[in-house]
Structure 1
Amino acid sequence: MSAWVSVLDAAPATQAPAPDTDKLQQLKAQTHIDKWDASVWRAYVDESMKRADDSGDCNDARQAIEEYVAVFPSVTRIWVEFIAFETRMRAYDKLEALFTRCLRAVVAVPVWEKYLDYIKSVHSNAPVDRKEEARKTILKAFELVLSNVGLDRESGHIWLDYLKYIKNLDGLNSFELQQMMDLQRKVFHKALSIPLTNIEAIWKEYDAFENSLNKLTVPISPISPLPGRTRSAKKLLSERSALYMTARTAYREMKIITAVIDAASKTWMPTPTTWSEADQEVASLRAWKKYISWEKTNPLRLEDPSIVSARVMYAYKSALLMMRFFPELWYDAARYLIELGKLDEAAALLQQAVEALPRSLLLSFALAELEESRKREFSEISKVFDNLLTNLESWVVEVNQKYDAERDTLMALLRGGSDAAASSVVATGNSAEWDGERREEEREKEKERNQEIETKVEVARKRKIGKVKQAWSLVWVVYMRVARRSENVKAARNLFKQAKKSELCTYHVYVASALMEYYSSKDVGIACRIFEAGMKVFAEDNASPEFVLEYLSFLIQMNDENNARALFERALTVLQPEQARDIWSKFLSNEVNHGELANVLKLESRMKEAFSKDVDTPLAVRSMADRWAFLDIDFIGQEELGLSGHSAIARSSKMGGATAVRSGNIDLSSFSRPTNLDPVHSENIVTPELNKWTAYKPEAPDKVTPEKVLPFIPPNEVHKELQQMKQKQPMPQSQVQILQQREQQQQQAKEQEHPSSAPATMLVAECIAQLLDRLPPASSYNGPILPLSDILDGLRRLPLPVPVGQSRMVPISLQDKQIMNPGHSTANVFIQEFDQGGSFRGRGRGRGRFGIAPASKRKGGYGSDEDQRFRKR
């Protein structure tokens, strides 16, 4: 863009508009190119405001801000800038209209604070005769602001301003003074029950307030004090101390929960999400849902349910300012209001949601369902569906325009490259080479490139249009259901007649209408006629195997064998073999379950001829298994043919059930699952298969033979080695050779497979062996040397309990892990040995594991005489 601007600035003044105007038009054009580019919008609005400040003409600036607000209507700082601009221009009439627009739509502290500042600036300097009215107006403004955003943790300064304003009121008589004192105490009590950022400062103010009235006693009712009905200020402070401490603790918890939100809110601009795990929107969505769930748990321990629901709804409203393009939050908020019984508020919220996301099927369906539950007229409900269908149809137009523009851009780039190549040929004087065959070759290449671009663009267009068609058809399906429930089957039939005239209609609408006719009016003839009408549209013209499969399933369900066989033969003449594979399987399954053996064998023979290439493929094996499978029983496929769970899941999904998955015979871990929104969408969380877990059964280890025990090195040599390492002295060459030999033995032990050649081993508990496997080798350690003898002596003196049952022991290599120096005098505490009866026998001074005496020889231990007597009692 900078190069473009520099060229235009260098042009003569008679051929181009003024530089400022030209720059503003450029920025405006860029906003139309990329609607969601916040940086371009920011530059466009700043430039328009700058020109308005210089020239005094506010029309362009207002238009720019209005366009900015239309794209980002929930961004608080944009409204604040708009209000500040109108205030700076002294356009008070437009400012009041602006407050009317934004206050209810944007429930945020900065916007309401601007409104409060405006009210105070207008009424603060009122004349004496209107001073009382102005004071009441300002007090009402404070109450209005705090009733809307007083639950926000950032509203603490507004609470303090309110208290300060009440405190500094002058010209009051004694009765009014008592009223203001009572109001001030009431405001303190409300503020101290809210987790505000400055709640500690408010508590200090409250402490000073109570003590300033009377350090000894204060009346219960300042308006009408009665003798003997007074309480001390200390008593009043102690009563509010618990609420204050709860609110302060809740604020600290809230600050931790909303850390992700606070970090993102400074520069946040709500844009349509791409559902990418790398996007910050997904993390913010998780954080908002976590915060809302926290509010629903009532962390402030409030006794009034209305206050709890108000806090939850304020959390929802705050979340929707940022997460405007997430229908999930809108729907959750509406469902919460419905659970509270506030149907009117839920309907208003869903109406606002539909206006924010006009193409959201979830929100429109929820609104229509709510209106239906409220017994609204069908004409009102139909408006929801009609608006949604209109928006989806306009979406098709936008998609076509987008891909047409993309195709034209690619074509222009291609022509530009061809023209540049031709110009280079002319410039080099080799234009003679382009005569004859060379020019024909280049034209053919250009046609191929054009065709390739056309193909890629059309494939992408078809894919996107297909998604829109599915959404459009789903709306008609739900629309017909609502019409049948609210009116009758005839109303749904009229809707079907409207839907099938559109090019966007898919086979789903026909199937839904046919099944609705059968199950509602019990008329098989109408249902079959609808299916036959669909055959002309989707089977004969577009060759849609899905519709034929649905039609065949319907006839099989009706037990109409003749028509089902006729439809099967018709489908084979219309569809290609690969397209009709599911139809073959469906018809064969019906013959196997309900037909004659001769028909089954004949159909199998025809199927082998149609799919002759599948003879030596896994598909043939799969069909062999399906031949004798029923529901979730696939014994032949899994046990005798060795088929994996992939085919079983595919087969169970075609059967219309999840019984194969529930049986536990399918390994779900081998399938890829979505990774985004793990804490938000529970179906994306991979859970362990508990039915595959086996109970832990400890096994007694084999008796340790003498040849498995590693010979010890005298402890004096170990001590010398440790002392040399502590003093950072070089080790003797002999010790270096020993360490090198140990490393070579370790490498050889890993390479050898025969167990007899493994190095010397020792038995330790399996859990310890797993830990040692994760530790690096001792040769890689270069840190400080700990006093091993002191550590072992300390462990030996610990009063460790003796386990009831012995844990499973596994052999590990001493040379591999070097878990201890074999020459140490206390190394034998790790070596254990079991006799044939499973009793413990320790080595070294008659001590047991970790130097502890066996239980049978300890007083009061497990298995001792005292223990046996205790068990008898």
Structure 2
Amino acid sequence: MSVFIEKKKRLSNDSISQLEDELEDNPLDYNKWIKLIKQVMVKDKEEQIRNVFTKYLDIFKLDGEQWCKYINFEIGKGDFKKVEELFAKCITTVDNVELFRLYVSYVRRVNDVITGGEKARSTVISAFEFSVNRVGIDVKSGELWNDYSEFLKSWTPSQSWEKQQKIDLIRKLYKKLLVIPTEKVESMWSTYTKWENEVNSSTASRFIADKSAEFMEARAWNIEWNNITDKSLSRKVLPYGLDDSDKDNRKEIEQQLQYWYKWIEFESRNNLNLKDDDLLNKRIEYVYKQAIVSLPFVPELWYRYNQFLMNGPSTEDSNSLNMNIDILSQGLILNPKSYLLSFQLSELYEKETNLAKANEVINNLVNKLIQDHSQIIKQIEEINDKSIVKTQNINGDADNMDEDDVNKPKPGYFLSEHDIKSLKDLKLTEKELSRNITLVYTKLMMTNKRSSGIKESRQIFKQAKKFANIGFELYVENALMEYYSDNKKTANKVFELGLKTYGTNGKYLLAYLDYLIMVNEIESIKVLFEVSITNLLKEIEDPEGVDDMDTPVWIKNENLEKINNHKYFIKRLIKKYGKFATKFLDLGIVTSLEKRFKKYFPEDDELELFRSRYSYDSIDLIKYDLGKSVKYIEQDTRGDIDQFFDYDDETFDKNKRRKLDLPSKPKETAVANQPVIETQNGFIGESIYNLLRILPSASYYGNVEDHVFNSKKLVELFNSLDDIRNQ
């Protein structure tokens, strides 16, 4: 306890140490890193500054702004060796205009053209050329191009041939930069035309005319780019992702993500009319690079960037594959719990036949999820412990109580509303994490089956079972994997093993029943059905805490929810078995099932069970007799949907129609339950009907009262006019 108190005291007196400790727990907290960098820069302790920058840039390797700060710090200290080491680390991987301007500035500083002459000038020009080749296509690269042109113009050659060489170099530079749609392209055009006229007014018009068309394309591109990004595209690092708990942060990320995608799509249309495909791909890739710098915590961007590279011309090249791996690895550093990036990187390693690395990636993901799960369990236990203490305090001293009395109080009986809500949220989170961990384990199991065979995948199954909260899906997937590996007996054993743990899990029981139906084990089907119904009925008939007067309402509700869930799966099991018996067994079994259904659910309509036996997928012919409608469509406008449409009772009746979700329109434009317009004997044409059926309802455009004709208000208006006239 004393150590904890000393640490707390130290933290309260030392903001830098406090930030360092917090970043030790959460090294991806960008805002805290920036705050820490600012504070250590103020302290001006060299080793501390270097240590902080090194740790930060090991994580945020592409943050050009912080590379510039670190390098400027070393330049200020005059440690040029350290400066060059830093440039070597970042200059080939970080595409940042200001970083390259700093690089050129440093090269000019150590290569003085006054003392170094032609050799120094050549070195500086090479640095400029390297820089504009890397980041010269950036919309914000205007200052870099301007630095380059001003450097060339500052040259005062002594020989006439050098003067001509200077003019040629400057003209060549303008030829390159004026076709690039930077923010300063118009001012650069003005500067260029002025320069040509100063060089030779008689030839200026010819040179200007040669570049005019390309300049106009660049200018038009720049205008359109500003339109599609609303002049609101952020190039700063946004320190949160789409999973952020703050609604405003998520909204900002979504908006910025759309701007970046619009830019990428805009580049793909090739509005600059580039003839060189490599140059076009370079521009698209450059936008992706800038996007992942600005939105580092959006896994989707890393994925799409990597997919773009994988679909490029050199996808089979080993260097290209290494680049893909590097990109995804960097993405996973910033998004260590990303399912998307973990699965994609694992697949890349698998394609390389590097199973060890493929397993390592997925295992890293599993371990992080299990750590989160352990934290959730700990928080649940803390709340439960709190409730037990309160219970004991209410009932008296636990030491003086009988064993029966001590066991009587149950966790959660004496909790505040806040604790109850927290406990419910934590349980939901725990359930979600358990499911996710289970599904990741199944993917790992399948990876090993594909790459090495059934023996290795069984080891993953054994490993996954050690997780106390593993889900039923692991057993189902493992059993099916065994079955499709011609190990039916093993598959049956796995399902039986799972039944011991998930004997009251409706989803598992249905999956097991589906399997037995698939392999046509009639007797096993009957046995499983009876076992399942018995297990679920026992849970329903002997509920925990539902009838206990001392049980709080929220716990009763939880238990009632479980009971309703069991009832739901009993119905599904009866319907599934009944449908199977109708098709392949005999009506005696079906009749018996109907009687049991009526016994278990006397308030339910028997017709529902009968209908389920004669439905085909989502098509229910009996709906014809119930006044419902089943539409038959030869071909939808998309041409890729099922020919038959059927409607659920909850969403369709005589006065309602099915919504159509067209992929070409945003989902939110599709509005359910719009009025039916009968056309068989109707009064409007089929084409008008087809138009109306895909249009959104009036409610899509806002409040109904704002845009729907209101006759009552019109009458009120006329009445008020009479009153005004009488006045």
TM superposition score normalised by structure 1: 0.63
Gaps of 5+ in 1: 1-7, 9-14, 218-232, 420-439, 646-657, 700-769, 781-814, 820-873
Distance, in Å, in 1 between the alignment partners of 2:384 and 2:42 is: 38
Deviation for aligned residue 1:312: 0.8
Alignment RMSD? 4.7
Deviation for aligned residue 1:535: 2.3
Corresponding position of 2:523:
562
Deviation for aligned residue 1:83: 3.0
| Matched-pair contact (CA < 8 Å) for 2:384–2:412 | no
| Matched-pair contact (CA < 8 Å) for 2:149–2:170 | yes
Corresponding position of 2:398:
none
Deviation for aligned residue 1:196: 0.8
Q: C-alpha deviations, 1:702-753, integer Å up to 9, x for none?
A: xxxxxxxxxxxxxxxxxxxxxxxxxxxxxxxxxxxxxxxxxxxxxxxxxxxx
Q: C-alpha deviations, 1:439-472, integer Å up to 9, x for none?
A: x9xxx99984369888766654443333333333
What are the residue-to-residue correspondences of 1:334-733 with 2, within 5 Å?
334-343=306-315, 344=320, 345-372=323-350, 375-377=351-353, 380-401=354-375, 404=378, 448-449=413-414, 459-503=424-468, 505-519=470-484, 521-539=485-503, 543-575=504-536, 576=539, 578-579=565-566, 580-581=569-570, 582-609=572-599, 611-612=600-601, 615-617=602-604, 622-637=608-623, 640=626, 662-663=645-646, 686=670, 697=683
Corresponding position of 1:308:
280
Deviation for aligned residue 1:116: 2.2
Q: C-alpha deviations, 1:608-662, integer Å up to 9, x for none?
A: 22x23xx3346x55334324323333243475177999xxxxxxxxxxxx96984
| Matched-pair contact (CA < 8 Å) for 1:389–1:472 | no
Corresponding position of 1:91:
79
Distance, in Å, in 2 between the alignment partners of 1:157 and 1:89 is: 26
Corresponding position of 2:399:
none
Deviation for aligned residue 1:199: 0.5
Deviation for aligned residue 1:260: 6.1
Question: May I ask how many residue pairs the two structures share in their alignment?
Answer: 634
Gaps of 5+ in 2: 394-404, 541-564, 632-640, 686-706, 723-727
| Matched-pair contact (CA < 8 Å) for 2:630–2:647 | no
Deviation for aligned residue 1:505: 3.8
| Matched-pair contact (CA < 8 Å) for 1:632–1:659 | no
| Matched-pair contact (CA < 8 Å) for 2:11–2:18 | no
Closer/same/farther in 2, CA of residues 207 and 454 from structure 1, 3 Å limit: closer
Deviation for aligned residue 1:688: 8.1
Distance, in Å, in 2 between the alignment partners of 1:276 and 1:300 is: 39
Asked if 1:251 is matched to 2:212, the reply is no
Corresponding residue SS for 2:580: helix
Asked if 1:188 is matched to 2:158, the reply is no
Deviation for aligned residue 1:248: 0.5
| Matched-pair contact (CA < 8 Å) for 1:87–1:95 | yes
Distance, in Å, in 2 between the alignment partners of 1:256 and 1:243 is: 20
Distance, in Å, in 2 between the alignment partners of 1:269 and 1:672 is: 42
Distance, in Å, in 2 between the alignment partners of 1:481 and 1:33 is: 33
Deviation for aligned residue 1:246: 0.9
* Letter of the structure 2 residue corresponding to residue 284 of structure 1: Q
Distance, in Å, in 1 between the alignment partners of 2:376 and 2:464 is: 26
Corresponding residue SS for 1:274: coil
* Letter of the structure 2 residue corresponding to residue 200 of structure 1: E
Deviation for aligned residue 1:506: 2.7
Distance, in Å, in 2 between the alignment partners of 1:414 and 1:527 is: 43
Aligned partner of 1:46 among 29, 38, 52: 38
Distance, in Å, in 2 between the alignment partners of 1:501 and 1:209 is: 76
* Letter of the structure 2 residue corresponding to residue 48 of structure 1: V
Closer/same/farther in 2, CA of residues 412 and 566 from structure 1, 3 Å limit: closer
Deviation for aligned residue 1:595: 2.2
Corresponding residue SS for 1:154: coil
Corresponding residue SS for 1:359: coil
* Letter of the structure 2 residue corresponding to residue 324 of structure 1: P
Corresponding position of 1:200:
186
Distance, in Å, in 2 between the alignment partners of 1:495 and 1:18 is: 43
* Letter of the structure 2 residue corresponding to residue 376 of structure 1: E
Corresponding position of 1:292:
264
| Matched-pair contact (CA < 8 Å) for 2:137–2:180 | yes
Distance, in Å, in 2 between the alignment partners of 1:671 and 1:389 is: 48
Q: C-alpha deviations, 1:288-328, integer Å up to 9, x for none?
A: 11221111111212111111111111111111112212121
Distance, in Å, in 1 between the alignment partners of 2:49 and 2:123 is: 32
Deviation for aligned residue 1:491: 4.2
Distance, in Å, in 2 between the alignment partners of 1:211 and 1:518 is: 82
Q: C-alpha deviations, 1:678-703, integer Å up to 9, x for none?
A: 9999666637899966779569xxxx
Q: C-alpha deviations, 1:89-108, integer Å up to 9, x for none?
A: 33333333333344344422
What are the residue-to-residue correspondences of 1:113-128 with 2, within 5 Å?
113-124=101-112, 127-128=115-116
| Matched-pair contact (CA < 8 Å) for 1:621–1:641 | no
Deviation for aligned residue 1:267: 7.6
Corresponding residue SS for 2:297: coil
Corresponding residue SS for 1:449: coil
Corresponding residue SS for 1:314: helix
Closer/same/farther in 2, CA of residues 508 and 401 from structure 1, 3 Å limit: closer
| Matched-pair contact (CA < 8 Å) for 1:403–1:457 | no
Deviation for aligned residue 1:348: 3.7
Deviation for aligned residue 1:201: 1.9
Identity %: 25
Closer/same/farther in 2, CA of residues 447 and 633 from structure 1, 3 Å limit: closer
| Matched-pair contact (CA < 8 Å) for 2:437–2:470 | yes
Corresponding position of 2:636:
none
Distance, in Å, in 2 between the alignment partners of 1:249 and 1:321 is: 27
Distance, in Å, in 1 between the alignment partners of 2:493 and 2:444 is: 21
Bigger relative contact order, structure 1 or 2, given CA contacts below 8 A and separation 6+?
A: 1
Q: Which has the larger radius of gyration?
A: 1
Which one is further off, 330-339 or 233-242?
233-242
Distance, in Å, in 2 between the alignment partners of 1:403 and 1:526 is: 33
Deviation for aligned residue 1:198: 0.9
* Letter of the structure 1 residue corresponding to residue 170 of structure 2: Q
* Letter of the structure 1 residue corresponding to residue 230 of structure 2: A
Corresponding position of 1:753:
none
Deviation for aligned residue 1:79: 3.3
Corresponding position of 2:136:
150
Deviation for aligned residue 1:141: 1.5
Closer/same/farther in 2, CA of residues 546 and 67 from structure 1, 3 Å limit: same
Corresponding residue SS for 1:300: coil
Q: C-alpha deviations, 1:109-129, integer Å up to 9, x for none?
A: 22222222222222236744x
Closer/same/farther in 2, CA of residues 246 and 513 from structure 1, 3 Å limit: same
| Matched-pair contact (CA < 8 Å) for 2:362–2:444 | no
* Letter of the structure 2 residue corresponding to residue 366 of structure 1: Q
Distance, in Å, in 1 between the alignment partners of 2:603 and 2:11 is: 76
* Letter of the structure 2 residue corresponding to residue 561 of structure 1: I
Closer/same/farther in 2, CA of residues 412 and 97 from structure 1, 3 Å limit: farther
Distance, in Å, in 2 between the alignment partners of 1:327 and 1:155 is: 27
Closer/same/farther in 2, CA of residues 462 and 484 from structure 1, 3 Å limit: same
What are the residue-to-residue correspondences of 1:57-96 with 2, within 5 Å?
57-69=45-57, 74-96=62-84
TM superposition score normalised by structure 2: 0.74
Corresponding position of 1:24:
16
Deviation for aligned residue 1:155: 0.4
